[in-house]
Amino acid sequence: MKDIIQLLPDHVANQIAAGEVVQRPASVVKELLENAIDAGATSIKLIVKDAGKTLIQVIDTGMGMSTTDARLSFERHATSKIKAAEDLFNLHTKGFRGEALASIAAIAHVELKTKTEASEIGTKISIEGSTVTEQEPAVVPQGTTISVKNLFYNIPARRNFLKSDTVETRHIIDEFHRVALAHPSVAFTMTHNGNDVFNLPESNERQRIVNIFGTKTNEKLVPVTEETEILTIDGFVFKPEFARKSRGEQFFFVNNRFVKSPYLHHAVLSAFEGLIKPGTHPGYFLFLNVDPKSIDINIHPTKTEIKFDDEHAMYAMLRATIKHSLGQFSIAPVLDFNKDSGFETPYEYSKKTPVAPTVEVDRDFNPFQKEAKISGGGSSYRKEKQPAWESLYVGLKDGFEARTSGGSELPDVSHSSWASDESSIHMESDSVTGSLFGDTIQKTGQTTFQLQNKYIITPLKNGMMVVHQHLAHQRILYEELLKNITVQEAVSQQLLFPLLLHFTKPDIEIIQKIREQLEHTGFVFSAIEEDRIEISGIPVSVVESHAELVLEQLLNDIKNEVPDAGFSQNDVLAKSMAKSMAIKSGTSLNKEEQEHLIHQLFACKEPSVSPANRPVLITMDTSDFDKKFM
């Protein structure tokens, strides 16, 4: 039988490895930045063009490489980080597998320029698809400059799977944030398409967070610090009032490496239990330092997942530390066991015997007996005896005649005189005759009913219709917003005082791109700066206090799914704003509001489905009810 197993060529093996290491341009950014950190760089520049599809360039001031090291760095499993298998469990560096550069060189055009401090001249190497096309001496500064051009040029299928430039840029910025936050002592700059996105000088952890996410972030931070034999915890959490519905600033770092840990995330959520609203997420920047021998970080190709030896201890310590910090800074309610002098017994009363208070009760008191005070009698009373049931109606006739005829006061009615006037008394009683609902509907004109402040029920000729009020309002707002963006005839309500909102630089850049569409929906921007915007007008259907929430939800949706331009962008924008602005389930509506909502819904082009293609209404025939009673 002919042999069928054969060794793969190196360039094929490298492309297969690239499928694990390089998923998108952000993966290249991560690997190159981590290599620059391991090289001891004090300043790192990231230059990106077309969301990394055209160019990703990283310039660092690290130790550089010799000519031999520069050539070997592109070989598979060639690394300076480990020498034996035991080193895998005592790692202090980041890129240790030696697959990154070989994988990147297999699917792109790579140019490397490097020089060590001891060398007088550096090295330049050019590689295309794992093939070295050029290697020569070059005059370059100390450090390393690596340029990755035309990513996935030889794998068009992979290139076609990339998302829009907006989405890919967001992933690159996320990776940049993770590396920059873990190393505040290193200066970082980032440029995208010739525009400066970040310029982060050397600083401490708090200042680095503020430089990335804006000056408004400083007032949100609560420091978290704890040191034990197992781990050291340092960092910050957001105050509970700044919890958001979308997961935003949530970062875990273990030994200065960004990791994703649902288990530890749950520990943070449990520490905030009772302090934030259900469905919201707190922000945090937590740096954990543990013994490298107690963790395993080689369980995932991207090295973002980690395994701890004692997860339960980590969970308990993290949860307790955050709760302690929230209480220490008066964020959470705590018990104060310090003695308050206001609750101490005064000195002059400290040796006196307490005297029980006396309570006097008139045991003969009867509210149905007439009581008149005898002049000069002090606390003695004269009780006027009369039948108890007659006292219930004393003065009734007097008040009735005084209101009707304005007559003078009459003497008390007796039992005999009461009978002649009982026809003028109207007693309360519940009517038990007639139909339960028919007359009520006919008299009040009620045609809609609200069930659990969530559904609107309206009768039909042969049954009834149930409308989901939140989804129905979404459909109404969606078509209205889409029309305003297209026709450019939105109505705006001017604010008496401009609204000042703070956002990160990438968010401001997104708002700049969609500013025209937002203005067509009714927003009026009086100023847009680097980290804040000023709004002087908002759409008519948006409450001023909800304007920031609408924009935050819009930015979150745009980062995840908006295309580059065209009708699809307007469509996603209208969907996002309609979802934020629609009345929520649990909102009580009066009869006029219910009917107005129904009328608006059936004036839409597609009243039966929401913008997300969920059913808005259902109908039930009387035959469906008949079956229930068979």
Per-residue buried b or exposed e for 129-148, using 16+ beta carbons within 10 Å of the residue's own CB? bbeeeeeeeeebebbbbbbb
Percent helix, strand and coil across the chain, each to the nearest 5:
40, 25, 40
Average pLDDT of span 19-35: 85
Residue 351 has pLDDT above 80, yes or no: no
* pLDDT per residue as tens digits for the range 206-242: 999 999 988 888 888 999 999 888 889 999 999 988 8
* pLDDT, mean over the chain: 79
pLDDT digits (tens, 9 = 90+) for 396-447: 656 555 555 554 444 444 444 444 444 455 554 444 444 433 443 444 445 7
The amino acid that residue 204 corresponds to is N
Structure-model confidence comparison of residues 286 and 10, the more confident one: 286
Q: Residue 570: CA atoms inside 13 Å, Cβ hemisphere, count? A: 17
Q: What is the pLDDT of residue 208?
A: 93
CA separation for the pair 158, 389 (Å, rounded): 94
Of 19 and 199, more confident:
199
The pLDDT tens digits for 254-271 are 888 888 888 889 999 999
User: Domain segments of the chain: what residues?
Assistant: 10-200, 205-328, 455-618
Q: How many CB atoms lie within 10 A of CB 319?
A: 19
Let me know if domain 10-200 sits in CATH 1.10.3720.10.
no
pLDDT of residue 230: 83
Q: Closest by alpha carbon to 212, among 224, 226, 197?
A: 197
pLDDT at 430: 46
CATH number of 455-618: 3.30.1370.100
With a CB cutoff of 8 Å and minimum separation 6, the contacts of 21 are 27, 31, 99, 100, 103, 104, 301, 302
Q: What is the pLDDT of residue 79?
A: 66
Residue 123's pLDDT is what? 93
User: Which pLDDT score, from 0 to 100, does residue 224 have?
Assistant: 92
Q: What is the pLDDT of residue 438?
A: 41
Distance CA 343, CA 565 (A): 68
65 vs 427, higher pLDDT: 65
pLDDT at 170 over 60: yes
Share of the chain above pLDDT 70, in %: 76
pLDDT (tens digit per residue) in 373-391: 444 444 444 444 555 555 5
Confidence (pTM): 0.66
DSSP 245: S
Q: How far apart are CA 57 and CA 254, in angstroms?
A: 27
Task: Record the tokens describing residue 481, joined without a space.
Answer: 């917003």
CATH number 3.40.50.300 given to 205-328: no
pLDDT at 554: 84
pLDDT in tens, 98-150: 577 888 888 899 999 999 998 889 999 999 988 889 999 999 999 999 999 99
Share of the chain above pLDDT 90, in %: 24
For strands 463-468 and 250-254, give the pairing.
unpaired
How far is C-alpha 26 from the chain's CA centre? 23
pLDDT band at 566 (very low <50, low <70, confident <90, very high): very low
Q: 450 has which bridge partners? A: 456
Helices 591-601, 469-487: axis angle to 10 degrees equals: 50
pLDDT of residue 444: 41
The pLDDT assigned to 205 comes to 92
What is the pLDDT, as a whole number, of residue 125?
A: 93
Label residue 429 exposed, middle or buried (CB < 10 Å: 0-12, 13-18, 19+).
exposed
What value does the mean pLDDT take over residues 155-175?
A: 86
Neighbours of 169 (CB within 10 A): 24
Mean pLDDT of 350-366: 78
Question: Which is nearest to 305 in space by CA: 270, 235, 250, 257?
Answer: 257
